[in-house]
Amino acid sequence: MAEGEAEWELSKENIQPLREGRRIGALQQALSQQDGSSHTTVQQQKQAFECELRMYTGDDPLDVWDRYIKWTQQVYPQGGKESNLLVLLERAVIAFANEKRYHNDSRYVNLWLKHGENITEPLEIYNYMHRHGIGVQLAAFYIAWSEEFEKHGNFKKADGIYQQGVSCGAEPADKLHQYHKEFQARVSRQVMAGMRESEQEEESLEPTQPQRSSLVDLKPRGKKTAFAPVVRTGATVSYQKRGLSFQLPAAAHSGHNSRVMVFDENQGAAVENCEPKTEQWTAPPTGRAKENEIMPEKWTNVKIPQKFGSSVVPPSAKPTFQPFVEECDQPPAVTPCKINPAVNTVLSARKPSKEESALELLQQQHAEEQPKEQSMYCKELLFRGATEFCFEELRAERYYKKVSRELEEKTAKLKAFKEDLKKQVEAKQKLLHEHSSQMDACHEVIPPVEGHPVQQVVECLPEAAAPLPVSPFNVYDENEGAASAGSNLTAPNEGLPLDKEVDNTVNGPATKVMPFTIFCDSDTSEQSQERVSIAATSKPPTCRSLNTILKPIVESVPKPEIDTLERMKPISEDSILGSYRNKTLCPSPEHTHDFVRAVHLASTPFSASQGERDFSDSDGNLSALPPFTAVSVQTPAVKQEDYEMALHGVNQLSPIQEVSQENGQCSSSSSSLDGTSCVKIMHLTHQSEPDTPELIHIAAEQTAQAFLSETEMENPSSADSRRRALEKLDLDAFPNFFRKAEPLPTVMEGEVLFEGDETIVIFSKIASGENYSVYLGKTNINENVVVKVDHESVPWDFYIHVQLRNRLGLDSHKYFGRKSSCFLYKDGCITLHWGHHWGTLQDFLARSTLPQVASLVLELLELVQQMHSCHLLHGDIRPGTLHVCYRETCGSEDSVLKVLDFSHSLDLDLQPVVISTVSLPGIQTLLEQGVLLSTSSPYQVDLLGIAETVYMMLKRKKMKLVKKEAEWRLDDDLEISGTHDAVWQDFFKKILNAESASSVLTELQELLKNNFNDCIDDQLTSVIWLP
């Protein structure tokens, strides 16, 4: 304390006294920082105030100014230029000059009075205030005004001001009265003292010694040598005598002055004449009367023209006139200060533009009011405070504000969401209770979580079987059939339901992707043989994907139509395998077949991709053109290495191109890259299966009915029904939704797309469907974005995404991306998803070796569960619709898997559907196979999608199902991961025979967590598997 104590005392001369006093703490701090180098806290606070001045949005902007100025006074005890106090006061005063509501606000008036204290001619300020009615209701104003007059010795006017204040009813009246009384007491005392002194003066008028008067001009006397005058007058002597105890204001002296006083008859009247004059003041007087400043000049040889005695006279009683400011005539921006250039030979004149006087500022304001000049930037914000801001500072300020507000919102949201969840949990528990009681009653399995939709399903049961939309009926093309080496024998299949066959085979690219085939295997080979014979002799290629079946067919069935290569095929599978392992093109020259194949491989540029393609068509849909048949036949047996080797060729091609190429080539098949089922197998299986004839029957019936009911009961995933569903909603109310009247712009790889204020460079196409395509892109600010271009003008994806966000809250970020926006055009829409996406899972599977699948599967399960929990159905889960994110950038709370493609999604809240009406891809097949019953919950579609995807991840081929002992299971035993085979088998068993989607999802998650416990955590956090 002792040291700090000394601080204020040591620099007491540098502390400007304040009317309201100073806080000693602030004082100590300010003074101790004087010598210290760090002004940081002060600067920070100052910056904060400056920011507040600009960012203030409340309804009392004066408050900020008031606090800022008070703070400035406290922090800069010695005032000075650094504090910017004068500038601040001036700006503040001008800023609210036109705000009537502040005119009698004591804070505002105090600012004016402070401003008045700081300038040289405060009387002008008071006059101005009075004219504009600023502070006329406040006693403080009159007191200050009067005191100013008193200082100048104009007691009459000072008294007049008090009287005027009283008559105006200024508040608080007591204070005014008290000051008035005090003033009168002072005056009378001074007058008394003056009288007494003047009496004394007269007595001691005779100076004992000649004295020189101080501060008068030394007029040289004499012509040759100059002498200072020795003549003293009484007045100067008496004046000097008063010395320090000088109390009398100058007015008293004027009487003693030797100059002759001329009586001005107007003067008497003028005293009372401080009533407002008609003349309008347009500008407040400037603080620094620049016109009257003495310019720096050469001192030598300069005589100041002074008249005798004039310099001693203190500022005389203020003149009654006021400076005239012209209203209409705009004076030049520079004050009309005439600087005599002859005088300023040595020092240059101060540049007037640097300092803006209040007058200029107001003139600027006037100029701004005129419409001819309008600044195109937020000028007033930049210059509002004492310091000038740059745009970036303002923007930064806004940004930080926004961020902090967002944070607050987030926390608030989280809280709300928590409460919501609690409520939901309670509600669900109630529901659970009800359902359990219901279940007891009617023995129906109703999953508690999805109570609502399931109930609908149950309700719709009677007519569930009826409306079955069918894919367009395709006419069989003879040429195609011939070209496809007999694989596509619809015509010979007499006895089979024709429509079904066509439905499943010939749709080409138009056919939707089938999730998987179900191979209802009859274990015995004779059954398969039987089947073949029933179907057609040319059927064999269809079964080649499975080696076990392939062999018997190839060997046992004579194939008259098959090409020569096929016919001379004595080689065993093993030898082929071996040859591929060695990666030699012609490993066993003795085998002619091998040799010929090698020639093909070497000479046909597309052979590799062909092989790859066929491999991915793991169902063995070998419908390729004859020259390729041999290759195709063997590729299913080819192992990983070859597969990859083949892929290297493909890598140069974009996945999209492959698809299109393939579609063009395999016109007869319904295959696409992402795995298609060959329903022909299915078909045959049904035929051979003894216990499924009624299924076929049903299917036939369904298709027949579907034709009828198509018009009545429409497909909920069709564009029209979606559009109708969305019409009920106000899409424009969603954030980031933009409607545009123009047609859909063309989106091409490598092109730049302008969407609203986003500029997006399209990189690559990662997926496509019948009506849409998905691209990877980057915005102009280097954010990764997934662009989905839909040719239907239904913002369905966006809608689902918004619903996910609304219904899931923050949880939705994990799997469904954080930000999306949608641009709806006349004939399409573009949906943007932000995030660090790499591509589809399918591409990913195709390019990289897979790590342990378990972590991904877990994410997939949770993802689907989340969607289901808010009554949304994905409807099309397959590797092609799942997106993979960069692990290292998405943070621990984000998943690797994301869903961005909701083309086949259904909002079960918006469109109550039953499974049989859903025309999801492949659902018909599933229905036919009996994996899905028409009574089952729509959610099961997603379960089967998961199963398919997981199988793809594990085995990289299509899943085939068989029904054994009333249970669906995989037709091969999984042999992949060794130790975990049993777990996976369990997994598939559960997911294929699920009764309730939600419980199975939880069950499966637990199953995986329990069995992969040791590695999941590691994988989730550390696996960085970028190809």
Among 7, 26, 355, 368, binds other proteins (CB under 8 A): 26
Does the footprint of other proteins cover residue 347 (CB under 8 A)?
no
Residues 397-436 close enough to bind other proteins by CB under 8 A: 399-400, 403-404
Give the Cα separation of 213 and 650 in Å (integer).
Answer: 110
> Which among 45-53, 113-121, 853-861, 1000-1008 is the span making contact with other proteins, rule CB under 8 A?
45-53
* Beta carbon nearer to other proteins, 701 or 783: 783
246-305 residues near other proteins, rule: CB under 8 A? 247
- Return the structure tokens found at 293: 């400043």
Q: Give the one residue of 44, 98, 280, 348 binding other proteins; rule: CB under 8 A.
A: 44
Task: Indicate the SS3 state at residue 423.
Answer: helix
Figure out which of the listed residues 542, 784, 905, 998 binds other proteins, where binding follows CB under 8 A: 784
Stretch that binds other proteins, among 7-15, 252-260, 428-436, 537-545 (CB under 8 A): 7-15
Pick from 433, 439, 499, 432: nearest CA to 471? 499
CA-CA distances (angstroms) from residue 335 to 326, 330, 352, 369, 509? 13, 11, 8, 20, 82
What's 227's DSSP letter? B
Choose, by CB under 8 A, the member of 782, 892, 1010, 1022 that binds other proteins: 782
Closest separation between CB of residue 71 and other proteins, Å? 5
Look at residue 799 and give its three-state secondary structure: helix
Closest approach of Cβ 43 to other proteins, in Å?
9
Which lies closer to other proteins via its Cβ, residue 72 or residue 357? 72
> What span, in angstroms and rounded, lies between the C-alpha atoms of 215 and 309?
8
| Shortest spacing between CB 654 and other proteins, in angstroms | 23
Task: Give the interface segment with other proteins, choosing from 18-26, 554-562, 736-744, 847-855 (CB under 8 A).
Answer: 18-26
> In whole angstroms, how close is the CB of 784 to other proteins at the nearest point?
7
Cα–Cα distance between 826 and 829 in angstroms, integer? 8
- CB of 47 vs other proteins, minimal distance in Å: 6
Q: With respect to other proteins, which residue has the nearer C-beta, 50 or 360?
A: 50
What lies within 8 Å, CB to CB, of 689 at 6+ separation is 520, 522
Binders of other proteins among residues 158 to 187 (CB under 8 A) are 178
Q: Which is nearer to other proteins, 60 or 426 (CB)?
A: 60
Query: What mask, x for binding other proteins by CB under 8 A, covers residues 941 to 980?
Result: ----------------------------------------
Q: How many residues bind other proteins (CB under 8 A)?
A: 47
Smallest gap from Cβ 301 to other proteins, in A, equals 43
| Residue number with CB closer to other proteins (113 or 678) | 113
Applying CB under 8 A, among 288, 350, 739, 836 the residue interacting with other proteins is 836
Whether the bond between 315 and the residue before it is cis, its omega within 30 degrees of 0, is no
**Cross-strand partners of 789:** 773, 830
Q: Which is nearer to other proteins, 12 or 583 (CB)?
A: 12
Task: Fill in the amino acid letter for 180.
Answer: H
Q: Which amino acid is at 663?
A: N
Question: Could you identify the residue written with the tokens 């100067």?
Answer: 236
Residue 398 and residue 404 in contact, taking contact as beta carbons nearer than 8 Å: no
Question: Does 23 help bind other proteins (rule: CB under 8 A)?
Answer: yes
- Selected binder of other proteins within 24, 191, 215, 585 (CB under 8 A): 24
DSSP 847-885: HS----SHHHHHHHHHHHHHHHHTTEE----STTTEEEE
When binding is defined by CB under 8 A, the residue of 20, 478, 590, 757 that contacts other proteins is 20
49/825 with CB nearer other proteins: 49
Distance CA 949, CA 939 (A): 16
Rounded to whole angstroms, the Cα distance separating 318 from 126 reads 12
| b/e code 908-920 from CB counts within 10 Å (16+ = b) | bebbbbbbbbbbb
The residues in 220-249 that bind other proteins, with binding defined as CB under 8 A, are 247
Shortest Å, Cβ 66 to other proteins:
9
Tell me whether residue 389 or residue 734 sits nearer to other proteins (CB atom). 389
Instruction: Give the interface segment with other proteins, choosing from 322-330, 394-402, 647-655, 673-681 (CB under 8 A).
Output: 394-402
**Residue 9 within binding range of other proteins, rule CB under 8 A:** yes
CA distance 955 to 37: 71
- Residues 6 or more apart from 992 whose CB is under 8 A from it? 931, 944, 947, 961, 967, 968, 969
Helix, strand, or coil here: 306?
coil
CA distances from 1022 to 148, 345, 579, 672, 914 (A): 79, 79, 38, 34, 42
CB of 242 to other proteins, least distance (A): 14
Which stretch in 396-404, 409-417, 557-565, 950-958 sits in contact with other proteins by CB under 8 A? 396-404
Beta-strand pair 758-768/752-755: antiparallel
Of 3, 17, 299, 727, the one binding other proteins (CB under 8 A) is 17
> Which amino acid, 222?
G
Question: Does 12 participate in binding other proteins (rule CB under 8 A)?
Answer: yes
Cβ proximity to other proteins, 2 vs 966, nearer residue: 2
Rounded to a whole number, what is the largest CA-CA distance in the chain? 157
> Which one of 7, 33, 39, 45 is in contact with other proteins (CB under 8 A)?
45
Exposure letters 933-958 (e unless 16+ CB within 10 A, then b): ebebbbbbbbbbbbbbbbbbbbbbbb
CA atoms of 875 and 33, how far apart (whole Å): 69
CB of 26 to other proteins, least distance (A): 6
Q: What is the DSSP-derived secondary structure letter of residue 895?
A: -
Output the six-digit token pair for 675. Answer: 């795995």
Closest CB to other proteins among residues 20, 973:
20
Ordered alpha helix ranges (H), 583-678: 592-603, 607-616, 629-634, 640-651, 655-665
The two structure tokens encoding residue 314: 């203190």
Please report whether residue 698 would count as binding other proteins according to CB under 8 A. no
Nearest approach in angstroms of CB 723 to other proteins is 35
Going by C-alpha positions, the residue among 41, 118, 120 that lies closest to residue 85 is 118
Minimum CB–partner distance for residue 140 and other proteins (Å): 10
The distance of closest approach from Cβ of residue 44 to other proteins in the complex, given in angstroms and rounded to an integer, is 5
**Rounded-to-integer distance, Cα 224 and Cα 215, Å:** 24
- Whether the CB-CB separation of 123 and 148 falls below 8 Å is answered with yes
- Separate counts of helices (H) and strands (E) for the chain: 41, 14
Name which of residues 806 to 825 contact other proteins (CB under 8 A): none
Catalytic residues: 876
* Amino acid in the structure at residue 995: E
With CB under 8 A as the contact rule, the residue among 32, 41, 348, 1013 that binds other proteins is 41
Instruction: Pick the stretch among 306-314, 657-665, 782-790, 1009-1017 that binds other proteins (CB under 8 A).
Output: 782-790
Backbone angles phi, psi at 635, to 5 degrees: -60, -35
Q: For the CB of residue 360, give the shortest distance to other proteins in the complex, in Å.
A: 31
Q: Among residues 143 and 915, whose Cβ is nearest to other proteins?
A: 143
CB-wise, 9 or 730, nearer to other proteins? 9
Of 310, 889, 1013, 1021, which one interacts with other proteins (CB under 8 A)? 889
CA angle at 323 for the pair 321 and 326, rounded to the nearest 5°? 130
- Binding to other proteins by CB under 8 A, coded x per residue (else -) over 53-92, reads --------------x--xx-xxx-x---------------
From 32, 34, 48, 724, residue interacting with other proteins (rule: CB under 8 A): 48
Residue numbers of the site for other proteins (CB under 8 A)? 1, 5, 8-9, 12, 15, 17-27, 40-41, 44-45, 47-48, 67, 70-71, 73-75, 77, 178, 189, 247, 392-393, 395-396, 399-400, 403-404, 781-784, 836, 889
